[in-house]
Chains A and B, each alone.
Chain A
Amino acid sequence: MKAFFYIMIACFLGGMLLAETSTASICETKEAVIFFGNGVKSIKRDARDSIELIEKKLKAELLPEEFKTLEFDIAYNGTHTLPLDLLESVIQILTGNISKFWRYFFGLDPIPEWFAEKFILLASILDNSALLTTDSLAKHVNTYKTVIAEGKKVLLVAHSQGNLFGNQSYNLLDNRERQSFGMVSVATVDSNVLGIHTSDAPYTTLESDKVILALIAAQLALPTSPMEPNTENHAGSGSFWGHSFIDSYMVEESISATQITGDIAAALDNLATSYQVVESGALTVSLTWGSEPDMDLHVYEPNGIQVFWNNLQGYSGALDRDDRTGYGPEHYNVPSCDTLERGVYHVALDYFKGDSPEVATLQIEAGQLVRTYEIPMGSEYYGSPDNPVVVANIWVKSGENSGYDFEIYK
């Protein structure tokens, strides 16, 4: 009996061995990355569901060969205490049933009016400018710049406060990068879409969106007042407050869902393919920093080869951009799965030349994993090129069907 039991466990573990990431898609070249930028009511899993829904809609809308060129990512904006504030404001009414709060929050149970009113009130008094003081913006912009430098288009589908981040990101891109950056705006709390204040902008706001209506009422006389609602769905569709990306705007066969999907497809067509500064690939590492002249990226490949400014070509990949005039990027890439090695790639930094402390921003992309590290570089990082400081590691493991599985760790 005992032996039988462990055979059952073994079958389970055997199953676990099968459960590695199939990474066929990471070996294919992508031409555009669609990001979802969430509002502050959305926790990360909501953002994940939103980008999944966009992926499904585009899969149905586009030709297979067009769809294959797209990558889907989340540019996550934190909730900035809104859910917690909401929970604490209604906790007495819930008489200790906290699960009930979450059921309302996720729209699993019919939302009572008092709950909706509390939410709308809290959402309408948010200080938008305070939201943008976080470092979220800088990390997102860094990612957009890297993707554009790899010759890809960036399209941000922004919902609610995600529009504030999108517009600010656009302002922080240079003119060349802006040609390859687009935004499709949904339920925007902002007054424009990438500087366009008119109905020509690709935006969708529902007439029934109670959050936007409350914001407009609160800011009627202000130049920052949200753009007017421009879309009306059939009566009865959508969630109680009409603001949810999934349950209000992307309801199956709704006018708003059709409009948003159409805007995304059109924006992809209209965006310029950017001038490629660095190569994209199955694994990339990008280093940017400030105005000090020279920071160096080193990568030790699993085979032992050190790739850096004095040895640009490794076995797996290459340093395809070495910058010595400040800001970066320096960029390492493994161009295809043909040379991707199983083992650990060590990423190291050397502050080669400069007078002041710097902050190095390191972005690593491996499979579905994206990691951004901001690393203060003080004098202790000065040293010889033979002794750079290892700051991150990328472990490439075997995956299913001769594929790959990735882990990134410090």
Chain B
Amino acid sequence: MNILQRMILAPLLLLLFASSGIPGEKAKLGPCVRQCVHAFNPALADSGAVEFMADNFRAKECVQTCKGFIYEGECNSWADGCCHADYLETDPDCQSGPPTPEPNPGNNPPPGTDPGDSLPPDPGEAGKATLEGIDSDGDGIRDDIQRYIALTYPNSQKTRAALQQAAIALQKTILESPDVESALNNTELEARASECIRYIRPGDGRKIDNMLLAEFLNTLDRSKAYLEYDSKLSGHVFGVKEIDEYRTSCSFDPDLMED
């Protein structure tokens, strides 16, 4: 299939999905989850982002994170979409961790769009409480980083898109690199994102890439996790793409964007 065919077919397929109601509904927001979100970050719970927050704080992790603050009523020990704090091991709702949404699922805008209009609120110190941080809209990018990118580069859609690609890769490096094999795979993602940034910003790509990493590694735990991931790469050999081919490292087509 050639490129032109792909470009035509992909929109048609997704138009079909859109008209048939796919993808599905937002996750049901149980009362204890809402309370959990509230306990964790009242500002978010009171905002429109709360529906999305539920995805990241429901089930066992939410309960463990917020134990002691969690709302105990209207929650049962059986499958009712609510994890009961006293039945962590048996309540089916407690058995899965928070879902890890695919980057840019169907309910998110294309990369680089909306520099400020639909930003999640500043998570503040709550955003530093865990390794994964808060990703209230489930786009694979922490809210604080999403805001940093949008507010630092409001005038360049390409730059925002490239940095969002990098942020998704960085999140994988610290959360999903338990062994050498996964670290090797994630470093390829990180490298492709860095190449994309350098294609879009040949003059200062290295600088803004490192500025993003400095912002991303804003806690001791995140710094340790990143260095641990990096240590798994030790002793390995890595090929590098030729500079002339950096455009192909972008997970989007930067040449379709105007700025």
Which chain B residues border A390 with CB–CB below 8 Å? none
Counting chain A CB atoms within 10 Å of each CB, the highest count among B185, B209, B252 belongs to: B252
A139 and B236 form a contact (CB under 8 A): yes
Instruction: Check A179 for interface membership: any CB of B closer than 8 A.
Output: no
Which among B18, B230, B234 is the interface contact of A6 at CB below 8 angstroms?
B18
**Which of B3, B7, B234, B248 contacts A136 (CB under 8 A)?**
B234
Complex: how many Å from CA A24 to CA B248?
12
Does B72 count as interface, using CB distance less than 8 angstroms?
no
Once bound together, how far apart are the Cα atoms of A368 and B219, in whole Å?
A: 33
- Which A residues, 126 to 144, have Cβ-Cβ distances below 8 Å to chain B? 134-140, 143
- Cross-chain contact A103 with B190 (CB below 8 angstroms): no
| B88 adjacent to chain A (CB < 8 Å) | no
Residues of chain A with a CB closer than 8 A to B252's CB = 12, 15-16, 19
Specify which chain A residues have a CB less than 8 angstroms from the CB of B10 in the assembled complex: 10-11, 13-14, 17
**A372 touches which one: B14, B214, B237, B243 (CB < 8 A)?**
B237
Best-surrounded residue of B191, B207, B222, B223 (most CB of chain A within 10 A): B223
Q: Which residues of A contact B224 (CB under 8 A)?
A: 84
Whether B19 pairs with A15 at a CB distance below 8 angstroms is: no
Question: A253–B111 Cα gap in the complex (Å)?
Answer: 38
A151 within 8 A of B: no
- Picked from A73, A108, A369, the residue with its CB within 8 Å of the CB of B210 is A108
Q: Give the Cβ gap from A258 to chain B, nearest Cβ, in Å.
A: 21
Question: Chain A nearest CB: distance from B55 CB in Å?
Answer: 19
Partner of A15, one of B15, B223, B243, B251: B251
Cβ contacts under 8 Å, B206 to chain A: 49, 246
| A5-B18, A13-B10, A84-B227 as given contacts; A44 in contact with B237, CB under 8 Å | no
In the complex, the answer to whether B19 meets A11 with C-beta atoms within 8 Å is: no
Inside 8 A of B236's CB, which chain A residues have their CB?
76, 139, 370-372
- Closest CB-CB distance, A92 to chain B, in whole Å? 12
Query: A18-B3, A22-B248, A98-B223 are contacts. A48–B191 as well, Cβ < 8 Å?
Result: yes
- Pick from B7, B106, B222, B245: contact of A9, CB below 8 A: B106
A-B residue pairs in contact (CB < 8 Å), sample of 16: A2-B18, A3-B15, A3-B19, A8-B110, A12-B110, A14-B7, A16-B251, A18-B3, A18-B248, A21-B241, A22-B245, A45-B213, A48-B191, A98-B220, A368-B239, A368-B241
Q: CB distance A106 to B213 under 8 Å?
A: yes
Q: Is the CB of B231 within 8 A of A18?
A: no
Which of A24, A81, A108, A246 gathers most chain B CB within 10 Å?
Answer: A108
B211 x A108 contact (CB < 8 A): yes
Task: Tell me the residues in window 105-133 of chain B with beta carbons closer than 8 Å to chain A beta carbons.
Answer: 106, 108-111, 113
Q: Does A111 contact B (CB under 8 A)?
A: no
Query: Chain B nearest CB: distance from A322 CB in Å?
Result: 25
Contact residues in B for A75 (Cβ distance below 8 Å): 237
Q: How far is the CB of A243 from chain B (nearest CB, A)?
A: 17
Assuming the contacts A2-B18, A106-B210, A369-B188, asked whether A71 and B7 have C-beta atoms less than 8 A apart, the reply is no
- Candidates A2, A83, A84, A370; contact of B237 at CB < 8 Å: A370
Taken together as a complex, chains A and B put the C-alpha atoms of A154 and B239 apart, in Å, by 14
Does A20 touch B at the CB level, under 8 Å?
yes
Tell whether A358 is near chain B: CB-to-CB under 8 Å: no
Closest B residue to A59 by CB, please name it. B243
Give CA–CA (A313, B142) in the complex, Å: 51
Q: Which of A102, A137, A370 contacts B217 (CB 8 A)?
A: A102
CB distance from A237 to the nearest CB of B (A): 17
A74 touches B237 (CB 8 A): yes
Q: Which residues of A contact B (CB under 8 A)?
A: 2-3, 5-22, 24-25, 35, 43-45, 48-49, 51-52, 55-56, 59, 71-79, 81, 83-84, 87, 91, 98-103, 105-106, 108, 134-140, 143, 246, 365, 367-372, 399-400, 409-410
Residues of A within 8 A of B17 (CB): 6
B235 in contact with A9 (CB, 8 Å): no
Bound-state Cα–Cα, A16 to B254, Å: 10
Residues 247-259 of chain B, each 1 if its beta carbon lies under 8 Å from chain A, else 0:
0111111001000
The answer to whether A11 touches B240, judged by C-beta atoms less than 8 angstroms apart, is no
Q: A6-B18, A13-B10 are in contact. Are A108 and B207 (CB under 8 A)?
A: yes
User: Which listed residue (B6, B110, B215, B256) contacts A17, Cβ 8 A?
Assistant: B6
Q: Which B residue's beta carbon lies closest to that of A366?
A: B239
Is B18 touching A18 in the complex (CB atoms < 8 A)? no
* A79→B13 contact, CB < 8 A: no
**B253–A48 contact, CB under 8 A?**
no
Partner among A12, A51, A100, A106 whose Cβ is within 8 Å of the Cβ of B104: A12
Task: Determine the residue in chain B with the shortest Cβ distance to A165.
Answer: B235
- A18 to B237 CA separation, bound complex (whole angstroms): 27
Contacting pair A7 B253 (CB below 8 A):
no
Given contacts A6-B17, A45-B190, A45-B194, are A87 and B241 in contact (CB under 8 A)? no
Task: Verify B253–A19 contact, CB threshold 8 A.
Answer: yes
Contacts of A17 in B (CB 8 A): 3, 6-7, 10
Q: Are B251 and A76 in contact (CB under 8 A)?
A: no
Contact A25 B242 (CB under 8 A): yes
Residues of A within 8 A of B242 (CB): 25, 55, 72
B234's nearest neighbour on chain A, judged by CB, is A78
Q: Is the CB of A370 within 8 A of B239?
A: yes
Q: Does B49 contact A (CB under 8 A)?
A: no
B11–A14 contact, CB under 8 A?
A: yes
Known: A106-B213, A410-B181. 10 other contacts (CB 8 A): A2-B18, A6-B17, A45-B190, A45-B213, A52-B198, A73-B239, A76-B234, A87-B220, A99-B214, A108-B211
Binary per-residue interface labels of chain B (182-220) against chain A in the complex, 1 for a CB within 8 Å, 0 otherwise: 001101101100100010000000110111011101111
A6 and B220 contact, Cβ closer than 8 Å, known pairs A13-B10, A19-B250: no
Cβ contact within 8 Å between B243 and A43: no
Which of B190, B210, B215, B217 is the most central at the interface, judged by chain A CB atoms within 10 Å of its CB?
Answer: B210
Q: Which residue of A lies closest to B252 (CB)?
A: A15
Residues in chain B near residue A11, CB distance under 8 A: 10-11, 110, 256
B233 at interface by CB-CB < 8 Å: yes
> Shortest beta-carbon distance, B178 to chain A, in Å?
14
